Structure 1
């Protein structure tokens, strides 16, 4: 329930994860996936579930690396163009839901609050990050600032997904 004080830490982390998704869209979903533990032998005797989880983690990692590289390319459009903002808001919302479920906040109200918190963080990260990058470019080269933004987004995502 959103009024539940035990939900507050989850919501704070959902906002942080959303902000990371605003900077790097893949982090909203990928960070909780990458942070999830894969139990040895999970999924029965054949370990099919563990293999799927491992494959999901590998795909999430590749998606993040692809975005980190792609962001530095000169022809990469602004995060504010096209469906960029919507994708980042969805990523932040989904990330908030994944965090809430992982932290035992699986009620409908808790999941809705976490989704809203993640999307709110993503909005701040999307438009705030774009404004910061625009200001940074006015004062020098963009590439070093992009690396700083990468590090900040990864740090936020890592903090948000730690237990």
Structure 2
């Protein structure tokens, strides 16, 4: 998987769960490393992901498509893709290109995730109702994508 493909995929996943923009670059940066710093990187990423997975199911959670939520996801997609390029030790030009690719992916991922959840709630199969089931399917897709991104990242341990 190429660098821009990973940037776009990270953006798509960020559109589903914004914490992925933090979790994946931190996991890539910590990969192959030991010690307190690596444990801290992994822990911060995991805590962010778990917190969002829980918060997403709450009835008070605002729509990902409303302002400023969509803006925040797009920004997170850009920063996450740039962070992934940095964690992969890519040259500066790759970091600069990764950011808008991640932002576009996050925008599209947010809209696709919202459309999925709306379809599941309104006209999807009965096994997807209530909305929490559709959210869990989305969680699985996002977490699986994040795991593939971490495994496919190209890094050189210094």
Residue 55 and residue 102 in structure 1: after superposition, are their counterparts in 2 closer, same or farther (change >3 A)? Answer: closer
In the other structure, the counterpart of 1:127 is 111
Given that 1:29 and 1:92 are in contact with CA atoms closer than 8 Å, whether structure 2 keeps it comes out as no
Q: CA RMSD in A?
A: 1.7
Q: Is residue 1 of structure 2 the alignment partner of residue 24 of structure 1?
A: no
The CA distance in 2 between the partners of 1:131 and 1:68, in whole Å, is 18
Given that 2:27 and 2:150 are in contact with CA atoms closer than 8 Å, whether structure 1 keeps it comes out as no
The CA distance in 1 between the partners of 2:118 and 2:131, in whole Å, is 9
Question: Structure 1, unaligned stretches of length 5 or more?
Answer: 1-7, 41-49
In the other structure, the counterpart of 1:44 is none
| TM-score, length basis structure 1 | 0.81
Question: Structure 2, unaligned stretches of length 5 or more?
Answer: 124-128, 153-158
Q: Is residue 61 of structure 2 the alignment partner of residue 76 of structure 1?
A: yes
Instruction: Give how far 1:106 is off.
Output: 2.0
In the other structure, the counterpart of 1:9 is 2
Count of residue pairs the alignment pairs up:
146
Q: Which runs of 4+ in 1 moved over 6 A?
A: none
| TM-score, length basis structure 2 | 0.84
1:98-142 per-position Cα deviation (integer Å, ceiling 9, x unaligned): 2222333222x2111111111111011111111111111103321
Q: Is residue 137 of structure 2 the alignment partner of residue 148 of structure 1?
A: yes
Given that 1:10 and 1:99 are in contact with CA atoms closer than 8 Å, whether structure 2 keeps it comes out as no
Instruction: Give how far 1:38 is off.
Output: 5.5
Quick check: which has more Rg, 1 or 2?
A: 1
Given that 1:13 and 1:161 are in contact with CA atoms closer than 8 Å, whether structure 2 keeps it comes out as no
Counterpart pick for 2:33 among 36, 39, 59: 39
The CA distance in 2 between the partners of 1:103 and 1:31, in whole Å, is 11
The CA distance in 2 between the partners of 1:141 and 1:123, in whole Å, is 25
In the other structure, the counterpart of 2:126 is none
Structure showing greater relative contact order (alpha-carbon pairs closer than 8 Å, 6 or more residues apart): 1
